[in-house]
Structure 1
Amino acid sequence: MDLIHAAADRLLESGAIALSWKGAPIQKRRGPYRIARR
């Protein structure tokens, strides 16, 4: 899972994805989250 988490972090930093949890946007990957394409 480390590779997947690192990839999600890179995509988030580049602005390719957005993270949220229960409809609220989150800025950092921490705990449970959902990924959306931008």
Structure 2
Amino acid sequence: AELEKMKELRLCETEVSLRGALNQTSEAQMDALVAELCAE
């Protein structure tokens, strides 16, 4: 499958939804994702 070809693939608990322009909700989701990735 395509996922097997990807390098440095990490599955995270945090979900981020981006639909058009960045808003406060998606910015908070991205901040949570950054915190999760940096904690590893």
Same fold? TM cut 0.5: no
TM-score normalised by the chain length of structure 2:
0.35
TM-score normalised by the chain length of structure 1:
0.37
Q: Which has the larger radius of gyration?
A: 2
